[in-house]
Amino acid sequence: MGVRHRGRELAFQILFQCDQTGDKVNAVIARFQEMSRANADAAAFAEDLATGAFGSMNAIDALVRAAADNWKLERLLSVDRALLRLGGYELAQRLDTPKEVVLDECINLAKTYGSEESASFVNGVLDRLARQLRPASGEATGKPRPKSKVGKR
């Protein structure tokens, strides 16, 4: 298992526990034993993702609510909610990660931890978010898109 995949899995588990317990992310990380067993790079990546997603939760939740037509965030499975927050955070804030990787990782985690419908639901919502947040492929590299010279002399 790759370092970044393991980091995402740990970040998802942390966000899931935050959702279940109502605890702050740092409290969950402090008692999360899997972090001490993980590769140091995977643990650091997980902590970065989990604290970033938790800190951006209100903004990410608003994006997810808009993208998940006819679904109330509060009524979603905790697994789906945690994955949408993780994926939404990466799509919005971690432009160094290609959107295809974000979607693929979250879908695979949904297949492992979610219900039979989780993978297709997470895929649909994150795909909609990806089209909204990263409309051009240049944004997935973290580099600014070149300014258009059309109509300028």
What pLDDT digit, counting tens, does each position of 66-82 carry?
888 888 888 889 999 99
Q: What is the pTM of this model?
A: 0.85
- List, for residues 28-55, the tens digit of each pLDDT value: 999 998 888 889 999 999 999 999 999 9
pLDDT, average across residues 83-97? 95
Domain interval for residue 96: 3-134
Q: Does 152 fall in a domain?
A: no
Q: Does 148 fall in a domain?
A: no
Q: Does 92 fall in a domain?
A: yes
The domain total for the chain is 1
Nearest residue to 63 (alpha-carbon basis) of 83, 92, 42, 34: 92
What CATH number did the domain enclosing 91 receive? Answer: 1.10.940.10
Q: Does 153 fall in a domain?
A: no
- List, for residues 111-141, the tens digit of each pLDDT value: 999 999 999 999 999 999 999 999 875 444 4
Q: Does 141 fall in a domain?
A: no
Residue 120 CB contacts under 8 Å (≥ 6 apart), including other chains:
none
